Amino acid sequence: MSLKSFPKPSELPVPAGAEGWEKIYPYYLVFQDKLKEQEDAKFWFCDSQHWPTVYKPFETIGGEFAVKCLGQYNARHLMIPNANGIEFRVHLGYLYMSPIPVPEDQIAARVPLFEQRVGHYFQNWDQLLKQWHVKVKGTIDEMETISFPKLPDMVPMEDILSGKGKDGSEKLLESYDRLIQLAYQNWQYHFEFLNLGYIAYLDFFNFCKQVFPNIPDQSIATMVQGVDMELFRPDDELKQLAKLAVELQLQGHFGNTDDVDATLGAIAAAPGGERWMAQYEGAKDPWFNFTVGNGFYGHDKYWNEHQEIPLGYIADYIRRVDEGQEIMRPVEALIAERDRIIEEYRELLEGENQALFDAKRGLAATAYPYVENHNFYIEHWTMGVFWRKIRELSRMMHAEGFWTRPDDLLYLGRNEVRDALFDLVTGWGVGAKPIGPDFWPEEIERRRGIVDALKTARPAPALNTPPESITEPFTRMLWGITTEQVQQWLGAGEAVEGGGLRGMAASPGVVEGLARVVTDADQLSEVQQGEILVATVTAPSWGPIFGKIKATVTDIGGMMSHAAIVCREYGLPAVTGTGSASTTIKTGQRLRVDGTKGTVQILDALVPEAGEPELLAAGPGAHSHSHSHV
Amino acid sequence: MHSNEYVQFFDGGVEPKLENLGGKGASLVTMTAAGMPVPPGFVVTTAQFDAFMEEAGITRHIHQLLAGLDPEDMGQVDKVSAAIREDICSRPVPQVLRELTITAYEALMSRFDAPVPVAVRSSATAEDLPDASFAGQQDTYLWLDGVKAVTEHIRQCWASLFTSRAIIYRLKNNIPNEGLSMAVVVQKMVNARVSGVAITMDPTNGDRSKITIDSSYGVGEMVVSGQVTPDNIMLDKVTLAVISEHLGDKHAELVPDAAAGRLVEREVDAERRGRRSLTDAELSAVAQMAKRAEKHYKCPQDIEWALDTDLPDGENLLLLQSRPETVHSSKPATHTAPQPVVSGGYFSGFSAGTLKPSV
């Protein structure tokens, strides 16, 4: 039997206008003609969970740092016996990944190394994690000190008097390099505990699968998941602010939250407003270092720079409190249900297995909360500061005439930015005009055209021939790339009754409702009470939306994707990793979402007209299977 | 509905005692109290049997007939057995006791929109008869309509204490005839819309974190005997999430024809075949009941269940039988026969055409 395959990279059509796209990314990020044979022999899956939109050249920094640092902890720090890191390439603007196994004959030798290294961390967990917080916060603090002021007209007199002997351009170059290094540093720290969290989880996961064959992944996740976690803290702060506003009878001042200054000014002047403002300011630092995206794109909006976003959420919570709704998450009920589940599984075991269950679950419950909580410190806080500084630099160079729009720096690769900076300081230093203003605007327009053209196509879910079974645990758990999922993408999976989509049963429950397709955080304001959110991927900072919706359906993501975690926390059904929900489902269609089985039915699907293709075919869809002549 | 010394309802809230209710009757009361919904009914207690015998004044005569019987002399045993049973069945039941039974029967019927058929079964105390399942099969009278048929068959159950086999068993085991007694169970006949079995484990590998359910239309006989391919669903025991489900063909169903007093087989139409025979809520209810049975008996159970047409949604799921699961867990050398704890096998008592019209 010949295996069904995904398209080869070379078989994917290049959207019109995107010709030459390879050259806007570094050479090492794109598939190479000379390596075609080796690269086509590997299975690559698209990580549209973290990178749902086409990269502008500068934005590859997040993917590069994240996936490189993930890999180093498998392959160089912890010496995980059966898994090295993950190779990655950018193809047609999207990130594709290929996990690297450890050769069979090397696995045994890594076991003692692995045990020694992992053992140290697990034995000193609390102290090392405390140290981690200090390191990460130190990085962020240093990042905050960096700035990119305009170069002066002349060296200040005091530098002459002190005999400094430098013109200050070195500071600009150093600041840029240091900003990049600090981002790299926190991405290394990011994975110091993340892989360990997954290891502890997977150890328990595998044990459960052994003693309870076919136990739903959802049950295992529930048994180790924290219920009250830092990831939900920003949202909780908004809820508290809403409740306080109701208590102080300040509701009337939230009529036009888009005008931040007027809103805050009116509250401050109102009776009781001082108290509310004090709580608001307290919440901002650090909890408003929170993006509506996922921290990986330069266009992400952060709450502290766009306070109309949190104020809008607060206004919505106020309305719901006034309507008598309960806005706080059902934390106690969730804890009680989790404890019941743990106890019932535990009671099914006897003797040694029960002791192993306790030990492994205990370790996972200690280590796993990091997986959920780190996100605030890196993706939100670190990257929030990082992008703010990058925008500051971009605006400074925009003012120097390097580009026509303030944020156009994103169309340069990060090493090209260094060249442009040297160009700037050279021109400035010698008293001439830099070359950039005559070079970059045209080149950026060309690249903008390419990026826009690439955006017209969705990525293929995967490339080349999948292995017969997918066992690599990280891939399976974080990205939801399972053998069954891959078969489903290939259209070979079990059909869903009545037509529809199949994905991961990420959070239990069954509901029916109207779909709201959201492909960009800016569309979140369109979401109406009681709708079903359908998205490429969700970000945890969409928190306030989860209080409004009935269920979530995503294109990509596993049991431990953000959508899955948040929906379990909010007690909403979720089906993740459907592959194509956001392109198959239309806003307004009536859906039945079964988060226990992992199915989504479209109840009022349009009947395709004769001769037209089936509208509801599951799987990657039309974007990836047509062949082209590249 | 009130229980008294002579009649005890399953849900009457009286502490079950084996010597009053017999094994079967005590089990039904215990299960009802433990939230395992058996078909509703009542027990005619051993006290009523004792009072009947006392009133009839035949105990001494029976003892005389039985004294000195040779268990090997089958002809003589049969003769004595027939005489005693004839004697019991021909004696009138004292009016007071008869009134109590009639009142209980009418109270049971008042739970339904229209009168429903009942089953009448003997419920012996453990040492009086060879074994419970044997007795249960022998002395089960199904599809009885009306109070006359019910009281008639209660006396037949009493008389079954003196079958040839029972007499020989007691003789061989030196069980004295003094103090012999018999309770009788009167229970609603199940009018199954959907029925099946549930095992509180994965029988293929002994995984105790699963519940396996077979489900098909009508009475469960066709599922038990393998005449239809039922829907097969595996659930996680803790969260009740569906792990796997396979829709069976379910081409036929056995449904009671109350007028004819028997089960008739009929074809299931394509629409009903094509969907699962249980809704999500029903599936979950079956699984929860199986869990309760396992918790109650403290070992994996193999239950028979049915959804009863005569009962309202939410109260229509009935537990017909629960027994220790033995397919996976028992080794051939130590094989133990399934021990019926409820009814001696509703399904095994049913098959098309074997039921006789009620009196």
Q: What is the DSSP letter of A49?
A: T
> Which two three-digit tokens encode residue A67?
């996936």
Residue A128 has pLDDT above 50, yes or no: yes
Whether the bond between A540 and the residue before it is cis, its omega within 30 degrees of 0, is no
pLDDT of residue B333: 29
Confidence band for B351, pLDDT divided at 50, 70 and 90: very low
The DSSP result for B237-299, as a single string, is: TTT--EEEEE-----EEEEEETTTTEEEEEEPPHHHHHS-SS-HHHHHHHHHHHHHHHHHHTS
Q: Which residue of B has its CA nearest to A505?
A: B241
User: Does A214 contact B239 at a Cβ distance shorter than 8 Å?
Assistant: no
Mean pLDDT value across chain A: 88
What percent of chain A lies above the pLDDT cut of 70? 92
Q: What is the pLDDT of residue B255?
A: 87
Is A42:A89 a contact under the CB 8 Å cutoff?
no
Among the partner residues B205, B209, B241, nearest to A345 by beta-carbon distance: B209
Name which of A173-187, A408-422, A569-583, B60-74 the model is least confident about.
Answer: A569-583
Number of H helices, E strands in chain B: 11, 13
Inform me whether the pLDDT recorded for B131 exceeds 70: no
- In terms of average pLDDT, the best of A566-575, B44-53, B120-129, B250-259 is B44-53
Mind telling me how many Å the CA of B241 is from chain A's nearest CA? 6
| Selected residue with higher pLDDT from B357 and A198 | A198
To the question of pTM greater than 0.95 for the whole model, the response is no
Mean pLDDT for A540-566 is 79
> Which pLDDT band holds residue A578 (cuts at 50, 70, 90)?
confident
Mutation target to probe the B interface, by most B beta carbons within 10 A, among A348, A510, A575 is A348
% of chain B at pLDDT higher than 90 = 44
Q: DSSP secondary structure string, A530-570?
A: TPEEEES---GGGHHHHTT-SEEEESS--TTSHHHHHHHHH
Which region among A518-527, A557-566, B139-148, B337-346 has the lowest average model confidence (pLDDT)?
B337-346
How large is the average pLDDT for residues A172-189?
A: 98
Average pLDDT, chain B: 83
User: Which of A213, A216, A344 is nearest residue B241 as measured by Cβ atoms?
Assistant: A216
A612 — pLDDT class (breaks 50, 70, 90): very low
Q: What is the pLDDT of residue B19?
A: 87
Under 8 Å CB-to-CB from B17, ≥6 apart: which residues? B26
pLDDT at B262: 75
Q: A614 falls in which pLDDT band (50, 70, 90)?
A: very low
Rounded mean pLDDT, A142-158: 96
Contact B241 A344 (CB under 8 A): no
Q: What integer pLDDT is reported at residue A11 of this predicted model?
A: 94
Put simply, the answer to whether A214 touches B280 (Cβ < 8 Å) is no
Q: At B128, is the pLDDT very low, low, confident or very high (cuts 50, 70, 90)?
A: low
Is the per-residue pLDDT at A46 higher than 50?
Answer: yes
Name the more confident of A196 and A442: A442
Q: Are A295 and A383 in contact (CB under 8 A)?
A: yes
What pLDDT digit, counting tens, does each position of A297-342 carry? 888 889 999 999 999 999 999 999 999 988 888 888 889 999 999 9
Read off the pLDDT of residues B33-42 as tens digits, 9 standing for 90 and up.
Answer: 888 889 999 9
State mean pLDDT over B133-150: 72
ipTM above 0.85, yes or no: no
Predicted local distance difference test score (pLDDT) of residue A261: 96
Instruction: With a cut of 60, say whether residue A198 has pLDDT above it.
Output: yes
Q: Quick one: pLDDT at residue B126?
A: 59
Strand ranges inside A61-164, DSSP E: 83-91, 94-101
Mean pLDDT of B142-146: 88
Better pLDDT: A294 or B187: B187
Chain B: closest CA distance from residue A49 (Å): 26
Checking if the pLDDT of A10 tops 50, the result is yes
Mean pLDDT of B263-281: 93
Express as a percent the part of chain B with pLDDT over 70.
86
- Across the interface, which of A212, A505, A508 has its CB nearest the CB of B209? A212
More confident residue, A113 or A51: A113
Q: Do A348 and B239 touch (CB under 8 A)?
A: no
Element housing A202 (H / E): helix A169-211
Length of chain A: 630
